[in-house]
Structure 1
Amino acid sequence: MAKCSSGFPSSSSLPASTPDNLKPFQTLNGIQQLAESRQFKGWLLDQFGVLHDGRKPYPGAISTLEKLANYGAKMVIISNSSRRASTTLEKLKSLGFDPSLFVGAITSGELTHQNLQRSDDAWFAALGKSCIHMTWKDRGAICLEGLGLQVVENVEEAEFILAHGTEALGLSSGGAAPMKLEDLETVLKECAAKSIPMIVANPDFVTVEARDLRVMPGTLAAKYEKLGGEVKWMGKPDKIIYIAAAQMAGIDASHCVAVGDSLHHDIKGANAAGISSAFVTGGIHATELGLHTFGEVADDSSVHALALRYDAYPSYVLPSFNW
């Protein structure tokens, strides 16, 4: 899109053949103009695919956060990670990010833990305490301490499924047995036949890790729904996590912008919450957009087509989270 004199790209001109429901976006090279405009007081930032790839920060991400903070922006990490919020901030620190730059973090794992612990929600209160636990192996199993749950290995004894990961099945001993994805799906079939509900503590289907895509618990949840199972999705694209993040920042949602690399989760969720959004094209959709190198700019028409496919419409589009 052509740039206006203000420095912001034009989004008013679309091809004559553009469908009526195609919503325009502004293409940016970085967030500098957006930060300088001070239009948004709250920045709700995804982490994987935006700030880092799970192993190292993306080029310019750390300095961009520091510059954004200088403009008084209140930043909250909003992530579909199945880990607790404190673990997420510790991970960011280990990668070289300054945790003090953030107001805090809200993760789907944190929301799941809080709801299981409080049980003040009628749906959670009716679950019971015995669960099949799908967790991680290489990343380390998720700790269920303080929740009063009993992990069972026999589906016949289970009252619900708790999906934190896609690599292992939790054991009653507290350990985890590595398991292939197809074997976990076999367990899901047994659970579906018993009509027991599932909580998915990470709704992502895939995530970016060192430029590769890794299967996440949302894939298991989608499979379970196809089998006829009931799923409680915790996190994006449910608007509750965006509202919680805005409240954490102490800012009205209308003054917030959500930044993420997933149209289905980050952008669609922001749409549902009525929050402006910035779509980072170099994350999980890079291959779909024909991008091969970091910072490569996506073709506007390709982004429009992908937005229509996912029925998720960003306010802004940028190649990476940079200044």
Structure 2
Amino acid sequence: MAAAPLRSVPGTPDSARAFRCLDGLRSLAEKGRFKAWFLDQFGVLHDGKQPYPGAVSTLEKLASHGAKMVIISNSSRRASVTMQKVNSLGFDASLFVGAITSGELTHQSLLRRDDSWFASLGRSCIHMTWSDRGAISLEGLGLQIVKNVEDADFILAHGTEAIGLPSGDVLPMGLEDLELILKRCVEKKIPMVVANPDYVTVEARALRVMPGTLGAKYEKLGGEVKWMGKPDKVIYRSAMMMAGVDDARACVAVGDSLHHDIKGANVTGMESIFITGGIHADELGLKSFGEVADSAALQALSCKYNAHPSYVLPSFMW
């Protein structure tokens, strides 16, 4: 199982623009070049409802070749919830060293406040959260959830379906109404913490709007945003510590988002595998699972997002 020839965009350095098309992960795993594998979950392992074809067995085969695997996800939920999720979908959670999520990083930052930026935050917040997907608990963080912008010190964005109420309940709300709240918050000049930087995610073969969309809107309005998770190198460094690997060159990140997964790997100095059947499938003109993307379309999309994978693969397959 060999990689396809190196592809690169004319007029640019191969090291920055080149990628290899794979028909599976076996060749990389058998070479043993990468000690640590950092796997995105939505769009790579599963679609939120079920695992992708072959993903469970591929994970098992990777583990059998000695790969230290860490889930690295922009989920706004805690790491423990992520492990429960993959286990419930049929993956053997014991095959992972652990999980690092943007939600976990956010929770720990709000709890410890050992960073100067978080130390300066107040305790009252507008909480943008989930409704149908299940609200996110802020228990133990000592925060006061407020409904009125005038009473808020900052915005905490975990979801895009509702705002939290002081009672602990949630008030379902559409994106347009959430954006109206953002406009009022900009006028007050309060900061925003985005606990999930993704713009969209794959869910049951469709795309769902994620908190990153709200963060991008807030920045466009002139607001200050603290992005937690990919593509920031902090989450990748945390995964390296968890895997016990201190050399980024011995790591590979696998993801379906050029802007988040692949860009994050680029800035951290590690190689990456771009799964084309995830959130970019429509942009690449892919109609069915496992369909191979056109090389020219891949090059154009990589340049559009200024994110350059080392390898390209239709799905997480052996």
Give the 5 Å matches for 1:231-250.
231-250=225-244
Give, in whole Å, the separation in 2 of the partners of 1:98 and 1:307. 33
1:310 matched residue in structure 2: 305
Q: Which residue is equivalent to 1:273?
A: 268
Q: 1:112 maps to what in 2?
A: 106
Partner of 2:11: 19
What corresponds to 1:7 in structure 2?
2
Determine helix, strand or coil for the equivalent of 2:312: strand
Distance 1:142 1:224 in 2: 21
Deviation digits for residues 269-311 of structure 1 (CA, Å, limit 9, x no counterpart): 1000001000000000000000010000001111011000000
Q: Which amino acid counterpart does residue 20 of structure 1 have in structure 2?
A: T
Distance 1:43 1:115 in 2: 25
Q: CA deviation at 1:14?
A: 4.9
| Structure 1 residue 127: Cα displacement | 0.4
The corresponding residue for 1:194 is: 188
**CA–CA distance in structure 1, aligned partners of residues 105 and 243 of structure 2:** 17
Q: Are the counterparts in 1 of residues 38 and 72 from structure 2 also a CA contact under 8 Å? A: yes
Q: Is the counterpart of residue 83 in structure 1 residue 81 in structure 2?
A: no
Partner secondary structure for residue 278 of structure 1: strand
TM-score (norm 2): 0.98
Tell me if structure 1 keeps the 8 A contact 2:277–2:286.
Answer: yes
The percent identity for this pair of structures is 70
- The whole-number CA distance in structure 2 between the counterparts of 1:14 and 1:284 is 23
Deviation at 1:211, TM superposition (A): 1.2
Secondary structure at 1:259 match in 2: strand
Question: 1:136–1:72: structure 2 CA closer, same or farther, 3 Å change rule?
Answer: same
1:93 aligns with 2:87: yes
- Counterparts in 2 of 1:1-323, with a 5 A limit? 7-11=2-6, 14=8, 18-20=10-12, 23-252=17-246, 253-323=248-318
Measure the CA separation in 1 of the matches of 2:204 and 2:75: 17
How many angstroms apart in 1 are the aligned matches of 2:93 and 2:140? Answer: 26
How many residues are treated as equivalent by the alignment?
A: 315
Please report the TM-score for the alignment, with normalisation by the length of structure 1.
0.96
Give the AA of the match of 1:267. Answer: I
Change (3 A) 1:311 1:169: same
Are 2:3 and 2:23, in contact at CA under 8 Å, matched by a contact in 1? no
**Unaligned residue ranges in structure 2 (runs of 5+):** none
What is the RMSD computed on CA atoms of the aligned residues? 1.0
CA distance in 1, matches of 2:37, 2:136: 28
The 2-side partners of 1:265 and 1:8 are apart by 24
SS of 1:291's equivalent in the other structure is coil
User: Deviation per CA, 1:163-212, whole angstroms, max 9, x where unpaired?
Assistant: 00000000000110000000000000000000000000000000011111
Which consecutive unaligned segments of at least 5 residues does structure 1 have? 1-5
Q: Secondary structure at the match of 2:171?
A: strand
